[in-house]
Chain A
Amino acid sequence: MDYILEVNNLYKGFPGVKAVDGVSFSIPYGICFGLLGPNGAGKTTTIEVIEGIQKPDEGIILYKGKNRDHRFKQEVGIQLQATELQQYLTVKEILLSFRNLYAKRADLNDLIAMCYLDEILNRDNRKISGGQKQRLLLAIALANDPELLFLDEPTTGLDPQARRHVWDIVQTVKMKGKTIILTTHYMEEAQNLCDVVAIMDQGKIIAMDSPINLLNQYCSGVTITLPSVIDVDMLNSIECNWYMVNNTIEIQTEKPHDCLRVLIDKNIDITGMVVRSQNLEDLFLKLTGTQLRA
């Protein structure tokens, strides 16, 4: 199989922290690859090393089967986490000046339409909303019509509608056959956009597969959520995993029947109970014992 990007045994440490601790993955052409993990898991360091902003301590990174060279910068599009832009320039001027730096340039009108920048083209880039800014940064990342697109937490801090807009753009890019690497700490985002998800914690990839396979493999059961007023000792007599999360108790079980029967037999108050199918968030809880979103 042909891979656009191969990462092998990547290590990157800072004094006192192993930010990236032996990460390996390969990304085939045309997929959306997600790095999912909490803040501080090493997602940003991983992609910044790949982008060339930071130097790896160890490890091999291959772009189209070769070491990264001058072609790499020309052919990839990069959106960094929280970038400021030059002051006093309009959205259009910023977009044009970044676009002019590349040999291959995306069609300007396509870019504007795709990222919904029409209405704000002549506005000072500091006077636009968070969602608009994020779309401008996306447009800048797409200015060279890149083959590989890096998105570092593209929707962090956005309201649900602004997030939808960004997702729409990512879907459009995907449909054009581009390859995308994105980091996120929203499992919903990973489930929605990514063909392959690598779950990261403390610098390591702890699980990697398509969202559906991950769910089938690890999360075939259901999650039962209860208010935390019940006797915790009693839970140990039930055959299940349970976690305390934000003052509620989450029980993950493959056998909801048995579990519920025990709860009712023991006369536990089940007012406020929620039973739902599992998602990547439950998987993360299961794998690490901690929440994805702290």
Chain B
Amino acid sequence: MLYRIWTIFVARTKEFYRDRSALGWNVIFPLLIIVGFSVVFRSDSSPILKVGIVALAEKPAENGISNIQFNEFLKIKYINFIQFNSKEKAIGSLQKFKIDMVIDSNSKTYWINESSPNGYLAEQLLKGAQNKSSVFKKQSFYNKGVQYVEWLFPGILGMNAMFNSLYGVGYVLVMYRKNGILKRFSVAPVRPFEFLSAQILSRMFVVLATTVVVYVGTVLLYGFKCKGSLFTLFILFALGSFCMISLGLLIASRSDSQEFADGIINIITWPMMFLSEVWFSLEGSRPWVQKVSQFLPLTHIVDGARMIMNEGATLFDLQLQIVYLVAISLLFLFLGSLLFRW
């Protein structure tokens, strides 16, 4: 029995490995996403507000306290000061929300757009620029926060595992059925259990291998560290891909239409991509959205991966995720094998 599983495993893995387009898609695509997003969202020191300054080139008038206020304001960090030659141009940009405030140092006037929250914040900063006193006592600490790339990376790995598993098993099995490959196997002395186990193992191997490649690639590019143990991360992704592959088997248990399988996979993957916090946090979104999110397997994979990589969680901390993934994998497998037809 093990020999038969091994035989089918080898055949399927070779088939994947030699399909250059699938291989490239599975490895290069996630790397490209990470590189692309890290370029777009360079979060380290990007300014938060943009303020237009009119006629700074001329020497500001000497009279009045507002000069000190203005100079103090110019020293505030995380504000990008943009020079404009004319007031009209600056106000035009303000109207289009391209900048948050316009200051004319000659006439000692500022403009804000009342419909822009950033404008309000800039105004408060300007008003308080001179007054440094505070009744609150300052307590601070230095903590290098999680960069967006570091936050995004576990999400991309999870998403890649999802697509890789669902298409690699769901779509391929349906194609096998359509082309009569399953029928050919059904008349050989292979039990469905053996055949499907080989498919699961082969795809888990592929998913984990590509995850490792993408992981190493990203670490080489960005040089950040996984705070938790790599072993824990491996276990989590093994469980995660097992869960997604089981879902793939369930999808492919009967149909012989690739269009149908493709549609179902899309219906499943798109909501997961957006509701499992791959790209953005659901913090503050509506309660029902967060509830739905808790039912999606990808949420638990991505959550778990972030806990390990960003916070250094151990297997013990991941109890919830692990129990959920195991339970739902078993459910998918049970239903899938119940419905399966060669």
Where the two chains meet, the residues of A that have a C-beta atom closer than 8 Å to any C-beta of B are 51-53, 70, 73-74, 78, 80, 82-89, 93-94, 97-98, 100-103, 140
Contacts and interface: CB of A to CB of B under 8 A. Distances in A.
Nearest to A137: B184
Q: Indicate the size class of the contact surface on chain B.
A: 20 to 34
Contacts of B12: 86
Interface in B41-79: none
B190 interface: yes
B266 interface: no
Contacts of B187: 51-53, 73, 78, 80
B257 interface: no
A85 B342 CA distance: 15
B18 A100 contact: no
B188 interface: yes
B181 A83 contact: yes
Nearest to A71: B189
Given A93-B14, A100-B7, A80 B184 contact: yes
Given A78-B187, A86-B176, A101-B189, 16 more contacts: A51-B187, A52-B186, A52-B187, A53-B183, A53-B342, A83-B179, A86-B11, A86-B12, A86-B15, A87-B18, A89-B11, A89-B18, A101-B7, A102-B188, A102-B189, A103-B189
Given A73-B189, A80-B183, A100-B3, A87 B15 contact: yes
Q: Is the interface of B mostly helix, strand, loop or mixed?
A: helix
Given A97-B7, A101-B7, A88 B188 contact: no
A80 B4 CA distance: 21
Given A53-B187, A83-B180, A89 B3 contact: no
Interface string B300-327: 0000000000000000000000000000
Contacts of A84: 179-181
A11 B183 CA distance: 21
Interface in B1-36: 3-4, 7-8, 10-12, 14-15, 18-19
A103 B176 CA distance: 24
B18 to A, nearest CB: 4
Contacts of B186: 52-53
Contacts of A98: 188
Given A80-B187, A93-B11, A101-B190, A86 B4 contact: no
A46 to B, nearest CB: 15
Contacts of B14: 88-89, 93
B196 to A, nearest CB: 15
24 contacts: A51-B187, A52-B186, A52-B187, A53-B186, A53-B342, A73-B189, A82-B180, A83-B179, A83-B183, A83-B184, A84-B180, A85-B181, A85-B184, A86-B181, A93-B11, A93-B14, A94-B11, A97-B7, A100-B3, A100-B4, A101-B7, A101-B188, A102-B189, A140-B184
Contacts of B10: 97
Nearest to A87: B15
B179 to A, nearest CB: 4
